[in-house]
Amino acid sequence: MTTVVLVTGANSGIGLALCERLLSQDVDGLQLCLACRNMRRAQAARCALLTSFPTAQVALLQLDTSSVSSVISAAREVKVRYNRLDYLYLNAGIMPNPQFDVKAFFKGLFSSNVITMFATGEGILTQKDDVTSEGLREVFATNLFGHFLLIRELEPLLCHEALTSQVIWTSSSNAHRSAFNLEDIQHFRGNQPYSSSKYASDLLSLALNTRYNKQGLYSSVICPGFVMTSLTYSVLPAFPALLWTLLMPLLWFIRFFTNTFTLTPYNGAEALMWLFGQSPESLDPKVKYHSLTSGLGNNYTQARKMDIDLETSEALYAKLLQLESDLKMKLEEKQI
Ligand SMILES: NC(=O)C1=CN([C@@H]2O[C@H](COP(=O)(O)OP(=O)(O)OC[C@H]3O[C@@H](n4cnc5c(N)ncnc54)[C@H](OP(=O)(O)O)[C@@H]3O)[C@@H](O)[C@H]2O)C=CC1
Ligand SMILES: CC(C)CCC[C@@H](C)[C@H]1CC[C@H]2C3=C(CC[C@]12C)[C@@]1(C)CCC(=O)C[C@@H]1CC3
């Protein structure tokens, strides 16, 4: 028996930690595929994994989730290499040009909302988004739409009558309904594209379960907590990595008040690992699985209900299908 696992954004942070943890479990016949945009960093990640696990089967795949043509050719390649896919971890993500509201942060520190602020970053973060060469909003394309397209393209490998497969999204506690607008799913008009894209992934996961459970495909979302990675370092660009390291005692102290401060990619990957061991039929499509770390440093996974509804998830799914068909048509026209 083989178990085929594909991880997007696997060359650093939480994605790479997940790969290390999967290999350390010594799963029989594990075939790991690192799907990455930057092949130089992907090679480095593969070498590091093979140094620790010399007999492991680790393959690389070029994939830029922000590009429709890249997703289509990557999926084509996956279908040539494998005849099934057991786990698809949709982890690649960006939060470009984050703007940290210092005033709101200090106001929040002395309010009753302080724990929520540290757990979710709510009210203190906005971003400036860009447009891709294919005309999509970059955060939407990278975090959500590219992954949606990947699932659609890999349907023949994910949907088997006798076997189940799991699609697992790295969402966030920063996913808020208030940042999402069904009339503007790409978030052209707001300044919280990251939050919007993560809320959309929570909705999409529900819609995927509605559509695909009968065909053996199950989708779940996780939140890794607050993890120190290149994504979070960029929130305070004036803070070099060394300053973050000096702040670690303070961050460990805050962890006594909010177990969402998982801090290391290893801890952040806890819920991703937990899902790997679950039978998908036992999972609740309306909960998010949170990686948490206690004040004493123990990791665990907790299910928390999401603020999502079936009707909105269906409406989003219909819009994504429409966008997919428009973009494919444009791509075909370009090729003719
Ligand atoms: N760190 C945190 O506190 C939290 C993180 N998350 C989520 O966790 C996930 C992983 O982030 P994290 O490990 O923190 O950050 P990293 O920046 O370390 O990892 C992000 C990964 O995504 C990849 N990626 C970015 N854009 C693309 C693209 N267009 N195509 C393919 N791959 C891409 C990056 O590759 P490259 O090297 O090419 O840039 C990198 O491997 C993200 O989805 C993030 O939103 C959620 C909640 C909290
Ligand atoms: C210097 C420290 C004592 C305080 C750090 C304050 C903030 C920079 C962080 C507190 C909570 C963090 C957080 C995120 C980014 C950094 C914080 C705002 C995220 C928004 C990063 C991306 C996510 O998906 C969720 C995170 C929630 C918590």
91: its two tokens = 């982890």
Whether the pLDDT of residue 336 is over 80: the answer is: no
Catalytic residue among 87, 194, 266, 289: 194
Q: Which atom of ligand 2 is nearest to the CA of 93?
A: 24
93 CB within 6 A, ligand 1: yes
Quick one: pLDDT band at residue 33, thresholds 50, 70, 90? Answer: very high
Residues contacting 306, CB < 8 A, separation 6+: 175, 202, 221, 286, 287, 288
Q: Cβ(232) to ligand 1 under 6 A?
A: yes
Q: Write phi, then psi, for 213 (nearest 5 degrees).
A: -55, -40
Mean pLDDT over the full length of the chain: 96
Distance from Cα 248 to the centre of ligand 1, integer Å: 21
Per-residue confidence (pLDDT) for residue 200, from 0 to 100: 98
ipTM: 0.98
For residue range 269-315, list pLDDT tens digits in order.
Answer: 999 999 999 999 999 999 999 999 999 999 999 999 999 999 999 99
Which residue's alpha carbon is at the smallest distance from atom 18 of ligand 2?
A: 121
DSSP 8-state symbol, 300: E
Catalytic status, residue 289 = no
Does the beta carbon of 193 lie inside 6 Å of ligand 1? no
| Residue spans per domain, the chain | 3-335
Q: Full-prediction pTM beyond 0.95?
A: yes
Q: Whose CA is nearest to atom 47 of ligand 1?
A: 172
Q: What are phi and psi of 153, to 5 degrees?
A: -70, -30
Condensed to tens digits (0 to 9), the pLDDT of residues 248-264 reads 999 999 999 999 999 99
User: What CATH class does 3-335 carry?
Assistant: alpha beta
The terminus-to-terminus CA distance of the chain in angstroms comes to 43
Ligand 1, closest atom to CA 66? 29
Residue of 260, 314, 316, 265 whose CA lies nearest to 288: 260
Is beta strand 125-127 parallel, antiparallel or unpaired with respect to 3-8?
Answer: unpaired
Q: Is the CB of 199 under 6 A from ligand 2?
A: no
Q: Is residue 94 within 6 Å of ligand 1 at its C-beta?
A: yes
